Structure 1
């Protein structure tokens, strides 16, 4: 089966460091748009179902055991009366898709990983034909923030120690740079996002002020870092990332704690204890 869609990938958290000035607020990246037009209303005839995998490049449903770049986690319909622009559509679709994503992955810790919600919706031609479908999918993104082709299902992927297969490691400084730049955890990196993301509110609720969010982070993140390290190291500091207004509107209502090394390391800081950084 072949279908046509638009897609949006969004990740957005700004950086605040413990005992450091706040970093410049970081807007979410523009929604990535892919438009593939196929004759006929193929989606309405045979829609993908939760648990099925997609090759968005070829607009097709594929076996999850083979290469794919998206996995369906929920389906729905858009209620907009006119064709929304990319930014509006992302704001409408990302929050409900993120909620379903946490259920599908088995943990709310997705913002500390390279797994992101990727909504898909009709392109212009499909909208003109009356199509209003919404596919919520999950994707694993790489250093360029684009979906990777991967194999295997992600259902229940964040349960137990499976989190560390998808953990975000940052080659940039989580406390000083506006954007987290992802990199492999077995390559040079400075920061490691920790399991145990902290909810600051429900999507649609008022966003707390920066001081209030920093207070929560300052109270909770040091303990998460110490637990992750198995002690306190003088070469590892506590950092965190907070949502800004635009990302909050897109459903990013969590803060993420980071362990940040004083120099790049090539192995995880987990269970480092009070020892020096690995060479």
Structure 2
């Protein structure tokens, strides 16, 4: 009996445990159903109008963002060492100047907003060492029209590596630690834009103003006057051109070697790099477009800081603001004029004159 009683007791305990487990399962199931029902009422995952949280409207200073879609709907926070299009330098609330009834700003108004609310924020983020003529442009991530109509007025201030059109190019590393010199990697070709300005990167098979052939690093020290920079660049760019082209006869192709120089403002914040490039012989003060590449296909592999931007880029779309350069307040396209970009009337006096062809 004692053994039977003992068995019945254990059996009864087992049955009780099963009942408890069933009860717990039913309770959890009912709680889950209630949660799902509440979520639907609140416009949750099963709702048709629930909006995903967009990283572009949540990022804070020091974070980097990347996206592909022009509406930023796929914006994601990424490590700043990886390719990104925007580095957040701070936030700005413009509710005071733009109450809920204010109309959605046009492109010109966004530029003004960026200048007024983000230039100083970004300069502070960079500890005052932002190159006004460098590769980074001050920009904003703006609310779209729907958020604007709902009264959202917070901006993300930030920095972008920008093409002359204002389009965002891939950036690598935090702007705080990167060289800000406005240079491109070798083998990048730059379009000839309107008003005799240098445009965005394009495929070298397309008409372009310049082909970048190398980068010269000026040493630390006091600012070199433009004439002294020209002397250094003339010699070094001639040697770079000879290696890059395999000794091609540029004169026979109606091409010449030219270069960029750095301003004293850029020099002061550490921008000491300048591009060597090849362009067509200008007509007076006007740049001339040409096609093809003069790179020696049998030459040594190129040394690049980042993956070269060799394909055409598209103009930047809203809702990001038009990038501008701090201090000058001018968009990057203003820095692409021949007078600021390695004057094409200064060919290298020692440019290669050999007759070997680069096919």
TM-score (norm 2): 0.41
The superposition leaves residues 6-33 of structure 1 with CA deviations (integer Å, 9 ceiling, x where unpaired) of: xxxxxxxxxxxxxxxxxxxxxxxxxxxx
CA drift of 1:172 comes to 6.2
Instruction: Judging by fraction of residues, say which structure has more helix.
Output: 2
Aligned to 2:329: 251
Structure 1 pair 225/74, CA: closer, same or farther in 2 (3 Å)?
A: farther
Query: RMSD of the alignment, in Å?
Result: 5.1
Aligned to 2:109: 88
Q: 1:122 aligns with which of 129, 136, 143?
A: 143
Asked if residue 65 in structure 1 is aligned to residue 139 in structure 2, the reply is no
Aligned to 2:229: 227
Q: How many residues align?
A: 195
In structure 1, C-alpha distance between the alignment counterparts of 2:197 and 2:58, rounded to whole Å: 36
In structure 1, C-alpha distance between the alignment counterparts of 2:262 and 2:180, rounded to whole Å: 18
Larger radius of gyration: 2
Q: 1:188 aligns with which of 203, 211, 236?
A: 211
Q: Is the 8 A contact 1:140 1:148 kept in 2?
A: yes
Q: Is the 8 A contact 1:170 1:180 kept in 2?
A: no
CA drift of 1:89 comes to 2.0
Gaps of 5+ in 2: 1-48, 203-209, 219-223, 236-256, 264-323, 354-359
Asked if residue 97 in structure 1 is aligned to residue 118 in structure 2, the reply is yes
3-state SS, counterpart of residue 109 of structure 1: coil
3-state SS, counterpart of residue 94 of structure 1: helix
In structure 2, C-alpha distance between the alignment counterparts of 1:42 and 1:173, rounded to whole Å: 37
Gaps of 5+ in 1: 1-36, 196-221, 242-246, 265-273
Q: Is the 8 A contact 2:233 2:259 kept in 1?
A: no
Q: Is the 8 A contact 1:95 1:251 kept in 2?
A: no
By relative contact order (CA 8 Å, sep 6+), the higher-ranking structure is 1
TM-score (norm 1): 0.50
Q: Is the 8 A contact 1:49 1:72 kept in 2?
A: yes
